[in-house]
Every structure is written in C-alpha cells, then in structure tokens.
Amino acid sequence: MVTIVDYKSFEKENGENFFGLVVQGGVESVKSGKTGKMYLTAKSATVPTTFNESVCKSLLGSTLEGSVRKIECDSYEYTIKDTGEIIELKHRYEYVSDEMEIIQKNVLEVDVVL
C-alpha cells in the first residue's frame, strides 16, 4: 500500500506542463552504513499523470495498492541536499502496482521460451 503525499509539476520537451504524484510506501527500518545505527525511512517515487493540479491536490492522502521498489538503472549523479555532496547512483525508486508485480514475477520474456 502506498499513500499519495505530494505532487510536482514538470515541463515536457515541447514546453507543455504535466503533473506527477509523489507516492510513499510504508515505514522501514534501515541500518546506517556509516554509523551502524538503525533509522526509519520510507521510499517514495513520482508517478506521471494526466491529471490537472486541482485533481492532484484532491488526491493527497489517498492510498493505492502496490509498493515502491528499488530498480536498477544506468548510473547517474545525485546531489545530497543537506551536504552538497555529489554521489553516483545506479538505482531509482519506482511505484509498482500489485497487478504489475504479479505479472513481472510470473510472465517469461519471449526470448526465454523455446
């Protein structure tokens, strides 16, 4: 289950604007790689929409079936807001609906089936 916690405005290459909903998963405990101490966090992801701003506002607090998953991707640079440190990441977080997760786990790719 994820909760819609915010929305953001984006600009397409053609100059047109669209909105994305920020969804957040449940609370997770994580062990710090630096200090070794446990802390609480929640993964979030932005999902593009066809909604206007007023619809996005009205959806805040709504829940959806699914989860936010860590997905491997091409490496990219990310700036940590608090410190200004630039790091390289090879993952992103993506919303995955329960239906899509079932399909991904149970459907074989065409080139695998012989």
Query: What is the pTM (predicted TM-score) of this model?
Result: 0.77
Is 78:90 a contact under the CB 8 Å cutoff? Answer: no
Share of the chain above pLDDT 90, in %: 68
pLDDT in tens, 6-22: 999 999 999 999 999 99
Is 91:69 a contact under the CB 8 Å cutoff? Answer: no
